[in-house]
A and B are shown apart, each in its own frame.
Chain A
């Protein structure tokens, strides 16, 4: 492995990374511009487009809705996903194989079809309120990430530790919370973060589950871009990027970033 990749390959890789980074740099530049139109490099530095985000009530409202949905949806997914991931590993022999596949279905079927199906069966079919339907949609959307990441953590957990605790007289439920869960803490944190970001950025499921007064931030961004071509959307994008960076720093501090590449 001492031989370095061919210079042409290195050049291609460098160009690919330039291609990946440049658009994001441009968005940041456009967000800081003092002009009323989108431009790069920024002409005059200003934070006024950031102030404009909060001046527009639709953005204020949808940021709150998006955070509420992402947070609650992720918690719900953890609530049903952790026991499922535990069962898949602890009762690997007893449970059928298709059960594991079932939990990844939400990322296997097209998201947009899932969103449309929820609209048809929940909101229109049975009159479930939009907020509840949105929450259900996001919970299921992030469930595969929760089950897979926590399953991966549990796969390296030695269940004989749990059996030792139980045979020494610890109650099974107590054992789960004092022995099993602390051992897969890193997996739970990673699952939370991955699920939260996935939910926050989702477009296809939310697309159909919005209505009067209820919308999510990405849907609001889409609507805004189609009407106005000012730097406000660039500022919101930068805000979201900052959030992502913050989350990545947290991951780096707790788990190391290579964890996400798995």
Chain B
């Protein structure tokens, strides 16, 4: 067995092969982010001083709650529409199903800037929606739709619905068809099967999708920047302003730390919940 000599199963080779990637992640991701977070606790004013001043600022706490609210609403809307759409896609006949999947993948591969920009053309003061409403005589003067929370949420839902649809189609297709057949042959109506059998079985998948959308919209930058502007400042845009406009490194680092902690906590907590509900889920 010459293989034993060259390719010992002792893991040393495994460590050596994964070393470059491991070192890159540690050196260029963990250490820099760790340094940012650690830096916020080394403020000359006191250990928690940057956080005290963050939460003492009415503006900055408003930004935090606005960001959480936008992310929560985006997640709920994406879940509802994503689930209904994924259900229809998963039931569609072969050819149509591939077409629908392609149609969901395409926006996902189109950049976030392009997708936010599209809504800028639609929702702007002289945008398409206002032009249409004016020409139909529904309104007398253009509506202010841009730079509202609604605009940001529409842009975010647009960003994340395809992701939700694609991940839920996978979940729905993994549910054994026998279960649904059993339900209907035992006399459940299609609606009862949907609500009482399909939906509970899809809950772990819904949680995973919700985590993806929540963390994605909680940390998104381009969409709130273009569609929300300064009036709808969120954590990501505030971080950028603090760092690149005001050069307030401590303030920016504090926001970065708050974003990281909230994101990681939600991911870990929800993964735990998803595991408890269904031990088979990964």
Contact = CB atoms under 8 A, between A and B. Distances in A.
Interface residues of A, number: 93
A120 interface: yes
Interface string A55-70: 0000000000000000
Contact of B17 (A87, A136, A258): A87
Interface string A73-114: 000000111011011101101110001001101101111111
B166 A248 contact: no
Contact of B88 (A9, A166, A207): A9
B62 interface: no
Interface in A1-42: 1, 3-6, 9-10, 12-13, 16-17, 19-21, 23-24, 26-27, 30, 37-40
Given A84-B20, A87-B17, A222-B225, A19 B10 contact: no
A167 B1 contact: yes
Contacts of A137: 28
B100 A12 contact: no
B184 A167 contact: no
Contacts of B45: none
Interface stretch (A44-52, A183-191, A196-204): A196-204
Contacts of B162: 20
Interface in A153-207: 163, 166-167, 169, 171-172, 197, 200-201, 203-204, 207
Most A-side CB within 10 Å, residue of B104, B128, B249: B128
Contacts of A255: none
Interface in A207-261: 207-208, 218, 221-222, 225, 229, 233-234, 237, 240-241, 244-245, 247-248, 257-258, 260-261
Interface in B1-38: 1-3, 6-7, 9-11, 13-15, 17-18, 20-22, 24-26, 28-33, 35-36
A114 B114 contact: no
A166 B85 contact: no
B122 interface: yes
Contact of A27 (B9, B121, B191, B263): B121
A139 B25 CA distance: 10
Contacts of A26: 118, 121-122, 128
A83 B18 contact: yes
